[in-house]
Structure 1
Amino acid sequence: MKSPLSIEFNADALTLHWNGEPAQQISAHALRMQCPCAECRRLRLRGATPVVPRDIAVLEIRSAGYGMQLVFSDNHARGIFPWAYVAALSGFAFSSR
């Protein structure tokens, strides 16, 4: 299972360091918009999008073994982001440093 070597985070973004790959930086807003929880997926499947404030922040990262659970400043903490899902977000709000 591919998992990051380390994760740096501040309120605005996460930076994931993968073995042998460029660092992946994803904004808190992009992560919240792509939350994989059932409620957010249902919205996206219906063609809607979650209502997310532009100034959304990541408050906490909780280990979930195969991924991470993020706690956002809008009190949303339902989604578990599997590492493969996070790595695939490279086409969505990704920058390498």
Structure 2
Amino acid sequence: MIPLELKINSPRSLLSVTWDDGAVSLIPASVLRARSRAAQQVRADVEGKARSFETVTVTNAEAIGSYAIRLVFSDGHDRGIYPWSYLREIAEFSGLRNENG
């Protein structure tokens, strides 16, 4: 799956992804931050030190080639790279996927 459009809402708390199959995913910034694969976040998860990111917002987004997006969050975390397949997996996990677009 490849995204056709990525939008961050104006409070910067939600990423909207329109996929090439017509599905639209609405992914909260807090979920994206919690699901970061950056080493620091993975280690915290393994050690059972997961934090709540309810107030975290997306402050910047940058394309990584044609395969991923790098998100920067309001808590300073800037090492999260989200390949399209992983972004879709997060969307399906979060339960905020709109099949009708």
TM range (shorter): 0.7 to 0.9
The equivalent of 1:30 in structure 2 is 31
8 Å Cα contact 1:37-1:78 kept in structure 2: yes
Query: Secondary structure in 2 aligned to 1:71?
Result: strand
| Shift of residue 46, structure 1, vs aligned partner | 2.2
Letter in 1 for 2:91: S
Structure 1 unmatched runs, 5+: none
Distance 1:30 1:88 in 2: 12
Greater strand fraction, Structure 1 or Structure 2: 2
Name the CA shift for 1:75/1:68 in 2 (closer, same or farther; >3 Å): same
The equivalent of 1:5 in structure 2 is 4
Letter in 1 for 2:3: P
| Shift of residue 22, structure 1, vs aligned partner | 1.6
8 Å Cα contact 1:14-1:27 kept in structure 2: yes
CA RMSD, aligned part only?
1.5
Query: Secondary structure in 2 aligned to 1:60?
Result: strand
The equivalent of 2:62 in structure 1 is 62
Deviates more, 1:42-51 or 1:13-22: 42-51
Runs of 4+ in 1 over 4 A off after TM superposition: none
| Shift of residue 8, structure 1, vs aligned partner | 1.0
8 Å Cα contact 1:40-1:50 kept in structure 2: no
TM-score (norm 2): 0.84
Distance 1:94 1:59 in 2: 23
